[in-house]
Structure 1
Amino acid sequence: MEHKVAYSVQETARALNLGTTTVEKLIANGQLPSVRIGRRRLVLRSALETYINHLVEKQASA
């Protein structure tokens, strides 16, 4: 995955090995922050990294 500043929903889904519907649900319920630019929904690289780090910390403490 190339190092962009932001990724489309489809690129985010590929990076997480999830479906686009799952990524859209994560965005809709606020678990994965995103921005809208025109008609496009983008997930910032920093938001994706924060989301993954949160999951790792949550699972480590379980």
Structure 2
Amino acid sequence: MGSIKENYEMMFTSYPDLVNINQLKEMLGIGITLAYRLVRNKTIKALKVGRQYKIPKRNVIAYLTNQNEI
């Protein structure tokens, strides 16, 4: 069995390297409000391109692996 990070990477192979807010909420199984809050509070680091957020998939995986270590 692989590491937690490797397991998340396998789970999210169908997502692009940069995901949007809707994809982030799907990946985490959360609502849109919490997804925006995580990005705006910089809990998950993201890029703002115009009016949209682009979140590197690796940042989502880093957030999840850090949550599992708590």
Shift of 1:45: 0.5
Is 1:13 aligned to residue 13 of structure 2? no
Is 1:4 aligned to residue 22 of structure 2? no
Shift of 1:39: 2.4
Unpaired runs of at least 5, structure 1? none
TM superposition score normalised by structure 2: 0.75
Is 1:37 aligned to residue 37 of structure 2? no
Amino acid at match of 2:40: A
TM superposition score normalised by structure 1: 0.84
Amino acid at match of 1:3: Y
Number of residue pairs matched by the alignment: 58
RMSD value, Cα? 1.1
Shift of 1:56: 0.4
Aligned-partner Cα distance in 1 for 2:38–2:18: 16
Unpaired runs of at least 5, structure 2? 1-11
Shift of 1:9: 0.3
In structure 2, the residue matched to 1:54 is 66
